[in-house]
Amino acid sequence: MSDASISWQAWVENRQGEKTPVRGSCSLGRAPANHIVIPDTRVSRRHATIQLQGEGEYWLVDFGSSNGTYLNGARITQPTRLHSDDVLQMGGADEFVFRQASVTAEAAPAANFSDRTIFDVRQVQCWLLVADIINSTHLVNELAPDELPLVTGGWLRECREIIEATGGRINQFMGDGFFAYWRDGPAMDTEILRSIQALHGLQSQAKPAFRFVLHLAPVVFGGVAIGEEERISGSEVHYVFRMEKLAGKLKVPDLISAPVWDRLSGAVQARDMGRHPLQGFTEDFSFFSLTAGPAGV
């Protein structure tokens, strides 16, 4: 019998040699709904996830678990990229090994095709959000080593719950933040307002302090997707990441683009932040902030 993992791009292997493929994402935890269920009281119900980002990049994310997620013996404090043969351990339970296929250019089409789906390339109107922890380097120095992963992982977990509860999805985790999106639709204004309100609630706790930016624009979906992950691209994706840099420069806790303000102006109040250039774009753009307080440094 042939080994099914031959056709997988990546998988997780336990010490008994049992393999679980990573298709888009792979959740690990005590709850039965996880892709890998770990029946150990030291493991949280939704302990961690492995997520595919970009071309062949897999990242390990801990969701603020009490007993931590360990990569090659060291507890992770932020989303961390995985490499083949890395050893994973959840809360002191049994170890797992992450495996990633090494595929030659000639063998790639045959080896990867079973896990890939070809999507039509199309433009979709989306709400785009980038959030990041403010002064994450200072946070590392301020918190005790065992407290840092609880704070950062707990923040990621709460943000993810807010976004998914309103129909959105985190598309990419980064070292100190994430990129998320919602497909636009008739009732999406209400869901976005719910998300903003919940994110402002998290900001008021300042555990940790973070900022977010929000844009509304058409992006490109399509090409080759792996598992449940769709590829998102286009200049508007670059735009929202540039907005995050501007928000840091302006020292505001949130920043929304003019298209977002046009849609939500009847339901929220905002401060006009004026017109500003964005790196890589040829004109200046109008931006607004939904809160007047400072966002830190």
CATH of the domain at 36: 2.60.200.20
pLDDT at 122: 81
**d(Cα 205, Cα 221) in Å, to the nearest integer?**
35
Per the CB < 8 A criterion, the answer to whether 254 and 210 are in contact is: no
Per-residue confidence (pLDDT) for residue 104, from 0 to 100: 44
Q: Dig out the tokens for 88 from the structure.
A: 């994973």
Among 44, 73, 100, give the residue marking a domain's end. Answer: 100
Q: Are both 142 and 258 inside the same structural domain?
A: yes
pTM to 2 decimal places: 0.80
Q: Where are the alpha helices (DSSP H) in the chain?
A: 108-112, 136-142, 148-165, 188-205, 235-250, 258-264
Going across the sheet that includes 87-90, the strands are: 19-21, 10-14, 95-100, 87-90, 69-71, 74-75
Containing structural domain, residue 65: 4-100
**Phi, then psi, of 257 in degrees rounded to 5:** -85, 170
Q: Is residue 55 domain-shared with residue 154, that is, in the same domain?
A: no
Q: Tell me if 144 is assigned to some domain.
A: yes
pLDDT at 143: 74
Shared domain for 150 and 247, answered yes or no, is: yes
Q: Give the model's pLDDT for residue 175.
A: 80
Q: Does residue 178 sit in the same domain as residue 55? A: no
Kindly report whether the peptide bond that precedes residue 208 is cis, defined as omega within 30 degrees of 0: yes
Say whether both 283 and 169 belong to one domain: yes
State whether 15 and 66 are in the same domain.
Answer: yes
Question: Which of 70, 100, 130 is where one domain is finished?
Answer: 100
Render 101-127 in DSSP notation, one character per residue: ----TTTHHHHHGGGEEEEEEEEEEEE
Identify the helix (H) or strand (E) that includes residue 132: strand 116-133
Cβ-in-10-Å burial (0-12, 13-18, 19+) of 24 comes to middle
Give the model's pLDDT for residue 223.
Answer: 56
CATH number of the domain residue 241 falls in? 3.30.70.1230
Cβ atoms 232, 221 nearer than 8 A: yes
Q: CB 174: neighbour CB atoms within 10 A? A: 16
Instruction: Report d(CA 191, CA 292) in Å as an integer.
Output: 23
169 and 240 housed in the same domain? yes
Q: Quick one: 76 and 131 in the same domain?
A: no
Regions of the chain with pLDDT less than 50: 1-2, 104-114, 226-227, 292-297
Rounded distance between C-alpha atoms, residue 54 and residue 42, angstroms:
32
Quote the CA–CA distance of 70 and 220 in Å, as a whole number: 36
Tell whether 297 is covered by a domain: no
For residues 102 and 5, is the Cβ–Cβ distance under 8 A?
A: no
Return the CA Rg of the chain. 20
Question: Domain ends where: 59, 74, 100?
Answer: 100
Mark whether 87 and 19 lie in a shared domain: yes
In this structure, the answer to whether residues 92 and 122 fall within a common structural domain is no
pLDDT in tens, 129-166: 999 999 877 777 777 777 888 888 899 999 999 999 99
Q: How many domains does the chain have?
A: 2
Contact 25/51 with Cβ under 8 angstroms? yes
